[in-house]
Amino acid sequence: MKTAAQYEESLRRLNLKVYLQGERVENPVDHPIIRPSMNSVKTTYALAEDPLYQDLMTATSHLTGKKINRFCHLHQSTDDLVKKIKMQRLLGQKTAACFQRCVGMDAINAVDSVTFEMDQKLGTKYHERFTQFLLKMQEEDWTVDGAMTDPKGDRGLSPSQQTDPDLYVHVTERTDDGIVVRGAKAHQTGALNSHWILVMPTSTMRQEDADYALSFVAPADGKGIFYIYGRQSSDTRKLEGGDIDVGNKQFGGHEALMVFDDVFIPWENVFMCGEYEFSGVLVERFAGYHRQSYGGCKVGVGDVLIGAAAVAADYNGAAKASHIKDKLVEMTHLNETLYACGIACSAEGHKTASGTYLINMLLANVTKQNVTRFPYEIARLAEDIAGGLMVTMPSEKDLRHPEIGKVVEKYFRGVASVPTEDRMRILRLIENLTLGTAAVGYRTESMHGAGSPQAQRIMIARQSNPERKKELAKAIAGIGTN
C-alpha cells in the first residue's frame, strides 16, 4: 500500500492538463484552490497506515491474499459492505469534506459483477481484462476515478439523436489494437487527484446507441484527456492567504469536466464496447453502490456539522435553551437515520455470480432518497443555531487589523471566556459546510450525487414489489380463501 507521502509524490509525476478560471494549471498538487481536495484523498492513505484504523481502512485481497487499501477492494461479504459505510463515516468525520475515492470503489465493484455476467452470456473476455487491471490497481494502490455522468445535451433525446454526438462519450473508431473515444464526463469528483479513470455508460442504451455503451480505463494524464475545474462557492477565499475565512483550510473536494479528445484505448483496457443490453444493469449497480455510500460519507460530515452547531451554541451562550437542545436532537436523529439506512442496505446484501457482494438495491435507493432531504434540514438547523453573524461578520483581515481589530474583537465576542477568533472560526466552519466550498460535497451533492431524486424514486418503484404486498394484504383479509 502507498503511504500518504508516496501518494502525493505519485500525483506530482502525472502530466495532467488542467484549466482553472481560464488558465492552464502547471502544478495542480500545490494550487491553493485544488490542494485541500488532494489532502482529503491523502487522508485515505494516512488512516490506512494508522494501526488504530486498520480494520476499517484495509482489507485482504481475494485475488492475492495481500493486505490492501479498502478502496481497492471487491466486497466479499456483507461485513465488507458494512465496514465500507463505517470507513466512509470515519473519513467524513476526519475531513468534513468529500474524500473522493468512493466513486472508484463503487465502480470497480459494479464493473466486476457485470463483466462476469456479460462474459457468461456472450463469451466475451471483459472480466479477465478487468481482473488484470484490478490486480495492478491493488498492487499500486491507485486512486481510480469512476466516470459515469455525461453532459447529456437535450435530455429529451437519446445519445444517437443529439445534434452533437460528443455530448455522450462514444466510440469513433475500432482498430485491431483498440478503440478511439470522444466526448466528456461532467461533475467528475476527484478527477485531478486520481491515477486512472474508469469510464461507464451514463444510462441504459438501446441498439441504436450501441456506440455509447462503453466501459474502459485510461490513465488520468492520457493523451487527449484534459480537465476544466469546476467553480465552488467562496473558492477564491483560498487565494487570500488566511485560514479563518475559508472555514476548512486543510480539506475539501472538487469536481471537473473531463474531456476525451480522440483518446486511444487499447483493447486490454476495454470492459464494454457496444453490448448495450448490459449497460442498464451496470448503471443500476454502480448507482446502487454509490447511493449506499451516501449513508456513510454524508453522515460523517453531518457529525462535524452537528458538532460545530453545538459549539456555536456554547459560544453564543445559548446552549442551555430548550429549543437549541431540541434542534441538536433533531439533527442527530436525521443523521443517524441516514446511517441506519446505509448499514441496513449493507447488511441485507447478497452475493453476485462473480462472488462480489451487492447491496440491497431497494434500501440503497431509500438511503439516497433520504440523503436528498435530511442534510438540507440539518444544514438549516445549523444555520438557525449559528445565527446571522455566520454570514455578516467581518473578514479575518479585519480581525488582524492593528486599529479595527480591537473593535471586531469587542463587538463580536459572545461568551466572555471564549476568544472572538474562536467564535469566528466555528461560524466560518458552519458557513463552509452549508454555503461554501464544502456545501458542494455535502448539501448540493446530497441532492444530485449518484443520480437525481427522481432516479431513486424510479428504482424504489421498480424494487418495491407491490404485487407481493397486495398478496400479503389479501391473505390477512381472507380474500380468495373462501
For 253-292, the pLDDT digits (tens) are 999 999 999 999 999 999 999 999 999 999 999 999 999 9
Q: Using the 8-state DSSP alphabet, how is residue 440 labeled?
A: I
pTM over 0.85: yes
Identify the pLDDT of residue 452. Answer: 87
Q: Which of 255, 383, 396, 431 is catalytic?
A: 255
Query: Does 297 qualify as catalytic in the annotation?
Result: yes
C-alpha cell at 102: 468512493
Identify the pLDDT of residue 414. Answer: 98
CA angle 459, 462, 467 (to 5 degrees): 150
Identify the pLDDT of residue 259. Answer: 98
CB 43 within 8 A of CB 99: yes
Query: Does 290 qualify as catalytic in the annotation?
Result: yes
Query: Does 255 qualify as catalytic in the annotation?
Result: yes
Grid look-up 485481497 returns: 61
Sign of CA dihedral 16, 21, 22, 24: negative
> Which residues, in sequence order, are bridge partners of residue 227?
18, 258
Sign of CA dihedral 169, 170, 173, 176: positive
Mean pLDDT value of segment 124-149: 98
Q: Is 131 annotated as a binding residue?
A: no
Identify the pLDDT of residue 311. Answer: 98
Mean pLDDT value of segment 346-365: 98
What is the residue-averaged pLDDT of the chain? 97
CB 369 within 8 A of CB 362: no
Mean pLDDT value of segment 235-251: 96
Q: Which of 294, 339, 357, 442 is catalytic?
A: 294
Mean pLDDT value of segment 301-323: 98
Q: What is the CATH number of domain 282-472?
A: 1.20.140.10
Each residue's pLDDT tens digit, 427-478: 999 999 999 988 888 988 899 998 889 999 999 999 999 999 999 999 999 9
CB 279 within 8 A of CB 272: yes
Q: Which of 297, 372, 396, 431 is catalytic?
A: 297
pLDDT for residue 139 is more than 90: yes
How many CA atoms lie within 13 Å of 116's alpha carbon, on the beta-carbon side? 13
Quickly count: other Cβ atoms within 10 Å of residue 376's Cβ: 17
Identify the pLDDT of residue 365. Answer: 97
Q: Which of 284, 396, 431, 445 is catalytic?
A: 445
How many CA atoms lie within 13 Å of 76's alpha carbon, on the beta-carbon side? 9
Mean pLDDT value of segment 224-232: 97
Q: Which of 202, 290, 383, 420 is catalytic?
A: 290
Domain 4-278 CATH assignment equals 2.40.110.10: yes
What percent of the chain stands above pLDDT 90? Answer: 96
Q: Which of 102, 273, 341, 345 is catalytic?
A: 102
Q: Where are the domains of the chain?
A: 4-278, 282-472
Identify the pLDDT of residue 482. Answer: 66
Query: Does 383 qualify as catalytic in the annotation?
Result: no
H-type alpha helices, 65-125: 78-95, 102-122
CB 285 within 8 A of CB 112: no
Identify the pLDDT of residue 440. Answer: 82
